[in-house]
Each structure stands twice: as C-alpha cells, then as structure tokens.
Amino acid sequence: MTPVRREPLAEQAADALLTRIRDGEWALGQKLPGETTLAPQLGVGRSTIREAIRHLAGRGVLASRQGAGVFVTALDVQDGLEDVLRRAGIVAVVEARTAIEVEASSLAAERRTSAELRAMRDAIEHRRGRRDSIEEHVDADTALHRTIVVAAHSPLLTELFDGLTPRSRQAMVELLRIRGAYGSDADHVVHAEIVDAIEAGDPAVAATRTRAHLRTLTSRLA
C-alpha cells in the first residue's frame, strides 16, 4: 500500500480511502478497520485518519456510529444538486418538474385555501399578459406554477421547486426559443383548466392535466 506523502495529508488520506471503497475493498454497510490499522497502511497519524473520516462523512460516504465504529454509507461521492442541474438537459428538467408538479397539483386540489386559489387566478391573468418577451413569459409562468406548489402545503416540494427554478428558467427560455411560439390562447386555457381542477377539489384530474401539459413541452424536441 503506497503511503500518503503529499499535502494536505487529511485530504490525501480521504482520497486513498475513497479509492479503496470504489474498488470494492469495503462493501456498502461494512465497518472500516480501526484507526490503528488504517494509519500505518496510509503512512499517516491517527489524527489524520480521523480527519479523513470526518471529511468522507461530510460527503456522505462514511458514517461514525458511537460505540460501533465507522461504516460505509455510499460507494462514491455524489455530485451536489447544483452540479447535477448544471448538466441537465431540457428533457431532464421537464421530467423533474413533472415529478414535483404533478404531485403538487394533486395535493393542492385537496389542501388549497381560498386565498391560494385567488393567487392562482391572479397569476394566470398576469401570465396571460406576458407575451412580448420570452423571459417575462417564463417568469410569469414560473410564478403561476409556484402558486400551485405552495398550495400543496408541502414544504419539501416547495423547496425542490425553488431549487430547480434557476435551471428550469434557463431550460424553458431555451425551449421556447426552439419552439418559436408561446403564450397562445390554447396554452392559457390549459393552465386555467389545471386551476379549475384544483378549485373543484379533484386531485386525479389536476394531476392528469398537469402531467399532460408538461409532456407537451418536449413532445416536439425529438
């Protein structure tokens, strides 16, 4: 086993441990050897091993369990959400929107308040008047869809929607430029019908209409 020689030692030790995990030396859920075993293998002190383990724990690869030891909780480091979103194409973004917004529409049909319905109706009319600029139209569209997500009363869905919004905005602007048309009367009716289903308290129809709408966004990209 090649000792770790370059600075910073803790990061190098973490990289060495991660390589061994990737290579299958320790399986998912398996306990790592103790510090007294790992330290001489990597040519570093026990304090460096502890720091390396903390580093990998922070990246979701290892977990320390008091009185039990250190266990493998992932076989590789996962990219952060921002990195994943940065690489996501238009279709992938719409698929993510679908996963969030179909469920949100269904829940909103069950949980929305009168004030939230008014916010949806106001957002629809605001969106209807934003046809001169793609960017303004996308922003108005996003605001409408967010009123529906908020009406689901699911903080996690709202957080997921907001986290996706910057990349979603870019993707939707690009998509509308490709399609060359947006903001039609028919498109307005589709959105109004989604809100109608939410107002009627029909989760199944609200979800179905939302899914159908989002699927049409990418239907002509192939």
Average pLDDT in the 132-146 region? Answer: 94
**Which contacts qualify for 73-76: CB closer than 8 Å, 24 or more apart?**
73/28, 73/29, 74/28, 75/21, 75/22, 75/28, 76/18, 76/21, 76/22
Computed on alpha carbons and rounded to an integer, the radius of gyration of the chain in Å comes to 25
Is the pLDDT at 88 greater than 80? The verdict is: no
Instruction: State the chain's mean pLDDT as an integer.
Output: 90
Summarised one tens digit per residue, pLDDT across range 158-211 is 999 999 999 999 999 999 998 888 888 999 999 999 999 999 999 999 999 999
Is the pLDDT reported for residue 6 higher than 50?
A: no
Phi-psi region of 179 (alpha: psi -120 to 50; beta: other; left: phi over 0): alpha
CA 64 vs CA 11, 56, 60, 73, 84: distances in Å? 18, 10, 11, 10, 27
What are the φ/ψ torsions at residue 112 (nearest 5 degrees)?
Answer: -60, 150
What pLDDT is recorded for position 38?
Answer: 95
94 CB-side CA count, 13 A = 20
pLDDT exceeds 60 at position 66: yes
Look-up of token digits 């922003």: 139
Bridge partners of 70? 64
Flag whether pLDDT at 5 surpasses 50: no
* Cβ neighbours, 10 Å, residue 75: 14
Residue 12: C-alpha distances to residues 43, 68, 78 (Å) = 11, 25, 18
- pLDDT band of 220, cuts 50, 70, 90: low
Residue bearing the bigger pLDDT, 106 or 68:
106
Q: Which of 64, 185, 195, 177 is nearest to 117 (CA)?
A: 195
